[in-house]
Structure 1
Amino acid sequence: MEENAKSPFQAAVQPGLIIGLVSLTITYVIYFINSGLLASGWFGLVMIVLFFALIIYFGKQYRSELGGFMSFGTAFNFSFITMIISGIIGLLGQIILFQVIDPSLPEVLAEKTLESTLEMMESFGASPDSMSTEQLDEIKETTLSNFTALGQIKNFGFGLIAYAIVSLILGAILKKRDKSLDY
């Protein structure tokens, strides 16, 4: 490792900010085009793929700065910190979207989520009619609670576990050891 190379934390700040702002920009653009798309599985899948691709891109840049080699621990730390920073930006942007810009949006997304849940049940052969009104209301209320500021913060906390698991995968992808140091 070079003497004046950045620590994983220092190196992760700028990529974390960029990824957070890119994902937030895409979220807001999709919101303005058709807010119902935010509840789409395709939207979530595209965002995850983009997230992975950008972290790998920035991770390879950081590895190059380190001389072309990076340990698993360094790669894990870089990935995890990048995801935390971008996640915080996304969290703040979504709280602003759901609480300030369009407080009615959670209701729309809860309806869309309920519709897609019922469609998925039908595709698996279950009858949505078999669910009571109370069960449907409970699903909707649970979904709505995820869009409150407290619900989003709680989900971010649970998301940290997912970030750690994804960082393990990204750390394995980004690591590269210097084989010339082997005896």
Structure 2
Amino acid sequence: MENTSTPVSTTSVGLRYGLLTGIVSIIYSFILLAANLEQNTALSLLGIVILIGGIFLAHKNYKENNGGFMSYGQGLGIGVILSLVSGLLGGIFRYVYMEFIDPSAAQRAIEQTRAKMEEAGNMSDAQIDQAIQMSQRFATGPIGIAVAILGSALIGFLLTLIIAAITKHNRPEFE
């Protein structure tokens, strides 16, 4: 099997697929936010499926352009870069959406979180207020963007540990 394509780097594939995965995630997040479904756990977990799909497609593209080979480390690098870029785009989108497009979305999320905490019944009102205040600090502004990037990178890293083990195809040592 002769491969005539130009080899690509892990960084270029990670950036390209990070942008694509980020855009798809933003569109999906916008639909959830606009429909007031962002607190639905099952629908929110679909965002992880988008990330998994992006990582698989990035690994496939890398192997297609590198003679069918990709080491575990290369797969891990692609997944982490992809997750960082996707997280950055998602964090910026959430900030813009919550600050400028629909500021009431943040208040709705707070009210839904408070209702869930009160329903659980294992916290006093003062503890709930304190928890809500703390979560607001980490969910807004530049700190919110940083938390989104770090969260996405961590989840992407953990997923990529598994995905890269499945998709790797090492180059034979004595070729």
Q: TM-score, normalised to structure 2's length? A: 0.85
Taking the aligned partners of 2:133 and 2:32, their CA distance within structure 1 comes to 24
Q: Tell me the equivalent position of 2:31.
A: 29
CA contact (8 A) 1:30 1:38 kept: yes
How many residues get paired?
172
CA contact (8 A) 2:91 2:149 kept: no
Q: Tell me the equivalent position of 1:161.
A: 154
Taking the aligned partners of 1:73 and 1:136, their CA distance within structure 2 comes to 43
2:68 match: secondary structure: coil
CA contact (8 A) 1:110 1:143 kept: no
Paired amino acid for 2:52: F
User: For the structure 1 residues 3 and 51, does the alpha-carbon distance in structure 2 shift closer, same or farther, using more than 3 Å as the test?
Assistant: closer
Q: Of 121, 124, 137, which aligns to 1:145?
A: 137
Larger displacement relative to structure 2 (139-148 or 105-114): 139-148
Runs of 4+ in structure 1 displaced over 6 angstroms?
Answer: none
Deviation at 1:2, TM superposition (A): 8.0
Q: Of 128, 133, 144, which aligns to 1:136?
A: 128
Q: Tell me the equivalent position of 1:107.
A: 107
Paired amino acid for 1:175: K
User: For the structure 1 residues 117 and 171, does the alpha-carbon distance in structure 2 shift closer, same or farther, using more than 3 Å as the test?
Assistant: farther
Which structure 2 residue ranges, 5 or more long, are not aligned? Answer: none
Identity, in percent, stands at: 24
Taking the aligned partners of 2:156 and 2:145, their CA distance within structure 1 comes to 15
Q: Tell me the equivalent position of 2:74.
A: 74
Q: Of 155, 168, 174, which aligns to 1:175?
A: 168
CA contact (8 A) 1:70 1:177 kept: yes
Deviation at 1:157, TM superposition (A): 5.1
Taking the aligned partners of 1:112 and 1:131, their CA distance within structure 2 comes to 15
CA contact (8 A) 1:98 1:147 kept: no
When the two chains are superposed, the root-mean-square deviation of aligned CA atoms in Å is 2.3
